[in-house]
Chain A
Amino acid sequence: MAEILALDDVQDATILIGKILKKKGHTVHSFTEEDDAIAHAKANKVDLAILDIKLKKMSGIEVLSLLKEVQPAMKAIMLTGYPTVETAREAISLGADEYCVKPIDRDELEEKVEKVLKSRGNKNAMSV
């Protein structure tokens, strides 16, 4: 089972992600503040980060960049309510494994998380 970090400015969204993935046996650490999430990643092992692109102070892309500095092997799924070519291109260049558009279906979320976690050590799998 994996250590998962979820960061979204909407608290209900982080709670939901936690509920869905805990049912799958993962440990989920939910955050609405960027600094808290970064501090957690600096102190603990994180297998997967699920990040919303629109946050309170920074963008999810910037947070991804900082998390990758402390946890280079960490996997990442980017969530957005407003998909654009620019954000998708930047997320991929910073090592994001998935780029999902909200509202994401529960089954779709579970499926993507499993897929990304399985691909640990296999870096050529990325889908939008």
Chain B
Amino acid sequence: MTIIREQEYLRVYQKITRMISMVLDHQQVMDTIVNSLPGLLNVDAATIRLLDAETGKFVMGAANGLSEEYLSRYSIDTEETMEMILSGYPVSKTDVKLESSPEDREIIQSEGVNSILTLPILFQDSIIGILRLLTKDKRIFTADEISFSMALAEQVGIAISNGRMFLEMENQVDFMKEVQQLSTLVNSSLDLSEVLDTIVERLPDSLGCKGCTIRLLQANSNQLELVASHGLSERYLQRGRVENEMNVAAALSGSPVAIYDVGHDDRIMYKTAMEEEGIQSVLSVPIKAGSDVIGVIRILSDVPRCFSSSEINFAVTAAEVGGGAIRNARTYQQISLLFNQIEENERFLANILDCIRPQLLVVDTKKHLVLVNKVLQGEMGCTENELLGRGYHDLFQDQECDEKDCPINKVFATGQPASFTHTNERDDGVHWCERTASPMLGTDGEIEFVIEVIRDITAKKQLEEARLEQMKLQGVVELAGTVAHEINSPLFAALGTAQLLEEDLDEEDIIADVGTIVRNLKEIGKLTGKMTQMTGYESREYVGDTTIVEIR
């Protein structure tokens, strides 16, 4: 190598080093290099591709001097070349047309590329990308040029890595702040919808992406249900079930998945729907609550995006924060539901107690009222608040029920249900009350409360008395009928015989006597007739304490 050439290389090396040391953004580093190298190294075009560690493929980082069509071809170079590069060796091709694969030959020819020098970009002995220098003229890259380009590529590797590291650090700080804010936001609400909406709106914004979806696993079906989305069309969201999509399945098993090119990645099922929606890259992360995966967050980018590890970590952390908040909100939702059900049941039971006709009360072990139904409140002329807490015996002290007969006392003494019937004098007459008390046992088997039901059984008592009266009357009527029947046959014989005798007699005195007998027998006949038609009777005073009945 001549001194002039060495000086030239040194000048280019210094210039490149100075340029790339002035910028920290690794994209700017790559752009600077591909824009500067053609002029400095006398080539027509330059490209930098970065290695996607997840897929093991090289993705475009920066390019200069080449058409979009050429750049978007599927393969970069022949398998042999790529193997050499991955092994850390440069590959120089003077006539690419002859040394390229048949399918790329046409595009290479139309682009007019003849010679390519492909160099691995190394950082700390690892390949992080490739640098390609392309010429339209046939050019044989000399050993010095290749060696110099290798040194340049190494500088590029350092610069890209530094830029990446700086960016990563910057991102990590930003992401930490973002996670902190997200955590504050989602933990400030127990409304599940609000929590979900906050996550789907904040996450794509923080990562500079198009949209985001949250799908949660349904406990009963174990299927994912779309519960929130942002920045995506309804048509895209309705494209179909996603459980079987490989990236979703991987996220459900707990691993995040970043996809650079959704159009050519087997882990994507709905490629057409994504293309129509303008989605280029996807990041799927599991939503964890504790150690359980409860769903999947998908962050979608409308530009090709190689998600960095800090971005993936951020998404995973944000999803975990979200998962905790979702679990809390769900728990709160369930508690609220349960609480509402309990309230509803309480209202229902209170309505039942208020609608039943008997008076009902519950006393605690100190015999203080702890529950009274509306009927009892009405009967006492007091409100619920006035009655609760009052002593049971104070409340009923004016009633004709001795403490020794009190069913509540009996229940506390024996532990068994007890009842007692007594009368009460009221303005409208005597009322019969039936009190039935039953124990309510606690978990320890001891009496915790006693329930007492007070029923006004006046109508029942009156009915019983009427029935007794009716039975008594029925007995009297039947007896009267039987007696009349037993009398009527001999009476018939006696009356008829007397009448025949009266006819056969001649003496006036005796005829008159027999006439008296006939008349009186007929009177007895009238009486037995009344007895057979009897429907009731009235007691009538006779002599002293004796009463007789008058037949009605």
Min CB–CB distance A114 → chain B (angstroms): 17
Which of these, B482, B486, B521, contacts A103 with CB under 8 Å?
A: B521
Q: Could you list 17 examples of A-B contacts with CB < 8 Å?
A: A10-B490, A12-B490, A16-B493, A17-B496, A54-B485, A79-B492, A80-B485, A80-B488, A81-B488, A81-B528, A81-B532, A82-B482, A102-B488, A103-B491, A103-B521, A105-B495, A105-B499
Chain A contact surface mostly: mixed
Contact among B488, B491, B496 with A82 in the assembled complex (CB-CB below 8 Å): B488
On B, residues with C-beta under 8 Å from A are: 481-482, 484-497, 499-500, 521-522, 524-525, 528-529, 532
Most buried by A among B486, B488, B492, B500: B492
A103/B492 in contact, CB under 8 A: yes
Interface size class of A (residues with CB under 8 A): 20 to 34
A10 to B488, CA, bound (A): 10
Closest Cβ–Cβ distance, residue A122 to chain B (whole Å): 28
What CA separation (Å) do A95 and B489 show in the bound complex? 23
Do B485 and A16 touch across chains, with their CB atoms under 8 A apart?
A: no
**A99, B337: Cα distance in complex, Å:** 81
B488 touches A16 (CB 8 A): no
**Of B486, B492, B528, which is within 8 A of A16 by CB?**
B492
Measured CB to CB, the closest approach of chain A to B484, in angstroms, equals 6
For the complex, what is the distance from the CA of A26 to the CA of B481, rounded to whole Å? 33
Which of chain A's residues 1-52 have a Cβ closer than 8 Å to chain B? 8-10, 12-13, 15-17, 19-20, 52
B500 touches A52 (CB 8 A): no
Closest Cβ neighbor of A104 among chain B residues: B492
- Name the B residues within 8 Å of A19 (CB-CB): 496-497, 500
Contact present for B484 and A81 (CB under 8 Å): yes
Query: Are the CB atoms of B496 and A102 closer together than 8 Å?
Result: no
A106 within 8 A of B: yes
What chain B residues lie within 8 Å of A104 (beta carbons)?
Answer: 492
Given pairs A80-B485, A102-B492, A105-B495, 13 additional interface contacts (CB within 8 A): A12-B494, A16-B496, A16-B497, A19-B500, A20-B496, A20-B500, A81-B488, A81-B489, A82-B482, A101-B529, A101-B532, A102-B488, A103-B525
What residues of chain A lie closer than 8 Å to B487, measured between beta carbons?
A: 81
B495 touches A103 (CB 8 A): yes
The 3 closest A-B pairs by CB, nearest first: A81-B488, A12-B493, A82-B485
Determine if A103 and B528 form an interchain contact, defined as CB atoms under 8 angstroms apart.
Answer: yes
Contact code string A55-88 (vs B, CB < 8 Å = 1, else 0): 0000000000000000000000001111100000
Nearest B residue to A107 via CB reads B499
Does B495 lie within 8 Å of A12, measured CB to CB? no
